[in-house]
Structure 1
């Protein structure tokens, strides 16, 4: 009997868990009768009643629910990797705890896996959210597709189903400060894309702050693109060429006996411009260097406090 593991990272999702688990359990009726579904629920250091609700969900379905309790908050992507480490399924799906991604797509995703696709992506074709949040998300995924990973679908995604082989390959990499979903596409396996409209959050308040979104963008972009470093090189060449030409111009004025420009304003503008560029360049280089240091220290991506195992 094939096993489908569903991983749900949870952070301050006390109100969502009962509703989400009820809908996921009801949705099992849309899956083939011969598939066994197990759930790996990861508490990412929540400080509300999330863990209590996760244990209550396990008590209702003790033979198919495993709760992984992390010692502290490590971010949803590292929490997902922790869930992968405790998944046993032939294929694995990742879905958010707030039901913004439709569970009814799981049956279609599973059918594509049966056809041989190692990766099936639920792609956000549109969002019910409006305003700045939607605009920033579109900009983020547009930049990633244009400059980092041209093979990813437009609109972004964090609702996926993938084969055991993909899971083991991601776990083997233990990539830090990265994007676990983009890592799956980076592996190069052929995938199928299922577009859908992402729902608006109905319960609770999202903890996905602007600060976390900015960090995700920086981590994702630096993990999969050398554009920032190359942009520094190009900008340096442009500034250097401009400085060389301006120097030739001043030498021409000097040798020809013409009046040299006083240049106080121009000198200050150039100095400020070059100084700003140097500081920006050092900041970008520092981001890469820090990531290399973080990888060299080889600290764990997460720390397990306790694993509440499936009842036999």
Structure 2
């Protein structure tokens, strides 16, 4: 029987742990086509998340709890889970269960029947605010146009992949990068299904606006040369405008001599010029900083503790699930 490793990053999710574990027990008790390994990655939570994970009754699946020394981000948590996963197939889920657990079975059926290495769950509809929808649409549009042409229009949060993909990810653990785009770019055979994202029932989302902006910057800097190309384009445009403006001034001076000189015009030119220069330098510096960060080879994450227990070590637990 195949094993599926389900990686669930958690960060300050003490309100959702009991509900999450209850749902996991109920669902994976019924699933008999594959065995399940759940890998919880505690991303430096400052609340009671880790304690509740340890005390929760993990009855119908083997599990690991990986705890970071501090908060490293959800993508680092996913990478840590992949490194420790033992399943034939690996997928991601999230503590809020906005993505239904039935996706695990659907993705397994798709990847197993079509004999592909990667299967995506593309969002068909999303129960989020209008502002989040606008950001997601803008992000997907920019990525499709300037970085990854096959990036899905409505985005994705869930993927299942084989050990072959895991081996590639384990040998290329990238910092300040998007693991989803890295998987998308590997080039292995891929398939996909669609689903409807649900409303979060418990707790508050940790996917803040600042984290979304960081993901946008990470995605462009890691997978696109568009920002550097933009700097070159802006520089060329301002050079041509400067040449034309200089020619115009010389022409008016020779033909009409009616242009008044003064510091306001000079100040405006300097402000625009220095503004464009600073923006350009900022974009270039972003690339240089990430190159420096990669050259240091600092760890993408630091593991503080690992708790592990297999289903075989818990005889009779499947019977206990019925009593919950």
Q: Same fold (TM over 0.5)?
A: yes
Going from structure 1 to structure 2, the CA distance change for 1:21 and 1:213 (only over 3 Å counts) comes to same
Q: Match for residue 318 of structure 2? A: none
Secondary structure at the counterpart of residue 232 of structure 2? helix
Report the Cα offset of residue 24 of structure 1. 2.5
Aligned pair partner of 1:92 in 90, 93, 96: 90
Q: What are the equivalent positions in structure 2 for 1:38-57 lying under 5 Å apart?
A: 38-57=37-56
Report the Cα offset of residue 29 of structure 1. 5.5
Q: Match for residue 109 of structure 2? A: 111
Moved over 6 A (4+): none
Over residues 278-305 of structure 1, what are the superposed CA-to-partner deviations in whole Å (9 max), with x where a residue is unaligned? 1111111111111001100000011111
Q: Match for residue 237 of structure 1? A: 236
Q: Match for residue 250 of structure 1? A: 249
Over residues 69-104 of structure 1, what are the superposed CA-to-partner deviations in whole Å (9 max), with x where a residue is unaligned? 111110000011011111000100101111010111
1:217 & 1:263 partners in 2: Cα distance? 43
2:27 & 2:137 partners in 1: Cα distance? 30
Q: Match for residue 168 of structure 2? A: 169
1:45 & 1:18 partners in 2: Cα distance? 19
2:131 & 2:254 partners in 1: Cα distance? 57
Q: Match for residue 13 of structure 1? A: 13
Q: Match for residue 198 of structure 1? A: 197
Secondary structure at the counterpart of residue 40 of structure 1? strand
Contact 2:28-2:60 within 8 A present in 1 as well: no
2:15 & 2:222 partners in 1: Cα distance? 34
1:43 & 1:35 partners in 2: Cα distance? 25
Contact 1:153-1:193 within 8 A present in 2 as well: no
Secondary structure at the counterpart of residue 206 of structure 1? coil
Over residues 237-281 of structure 1, what are the superposed CA-to-partner deviations in whole Å (9 max), with x where a residue is unaligned? 000011012112223334446333436443332221111111111
TM-score where L is the length of structure 2 = 0.90
Secondary structure at the counterpart of residue 233 of structure 1? helix
Report the Cα offset of residue 168 of structure 1. 1.6
- The answer for unaligned runs of 5 or more in structure 2 is 314-324
Contact 2:29-2:60 within 8 A present in 1 as well: no
2:129 & 2:293 partners in 1: Cα distance? 36
Report the Cα offset of residue 227 of structure 1. 0.7
Over residues 169-195 of structure 1, what are the superposed CA-to-partner deviations in whole Å (9 max), with x where a residue is unaligned? 112111110111111001112322222
2:292 & 2:270 partners in 1: Cα distance? 32
Q: What are the equivalent positions in structure 2 for 1:145-160 lying under 5 Å apart?
A: 145-160=144-159
1:183 & 1:277 partners in 2: Cα distance? 32
Contact 2:111-2:191 within 8 A present in 1 as well: no
Contact 1:129-1:200 within 8 A present in 2 as well: yes
Q: What are the equivalent positions in structure 2 for 1:1-312 lying under 5 Å apart?
A: 1-28=1-28, 31=31, 33-57=32-56, 59-61=57-59, 64-114=62-112, 115-256=114-255, 258-262=257-261, 264-311=263-310, 312=313
Secondary structure at the counterpart of residue 100 of structure 1? coil
Report the Cα offset of residue 30 of structure 1. 5.9
Contact 2:25-2:59 within 8 A present in 1 as well: no
When the two structures are aligned, how many residues end up with a matched partner? Answer: 310
- The answer for unaligned runs of 5 or more in structure 1 is none
Report the Cα offset of residue 62 of structure 1. 8.7
TM-score where L is the length of structure 1 = 0.94
Over residues 144-172 of structure 1, what are the superposed CA-to-partner deviations in whole Å (9 max), with x where a residue is unaligned? 12221111211111211111111121121
Higher mean displacement: 189-198 or 240-249: 189-198
1:263 & 1:161 partners in 2: Cα distance? 65
Over residues 12-69 of structure 1, what are the superposed CA-to-partner deviations in whole Å (9 max), with x where a residue is unaligned? 11121222222233223564x3411111111101011111121123x53397011111
2:188 & 2:30 partners in 1: Cα distance? 27
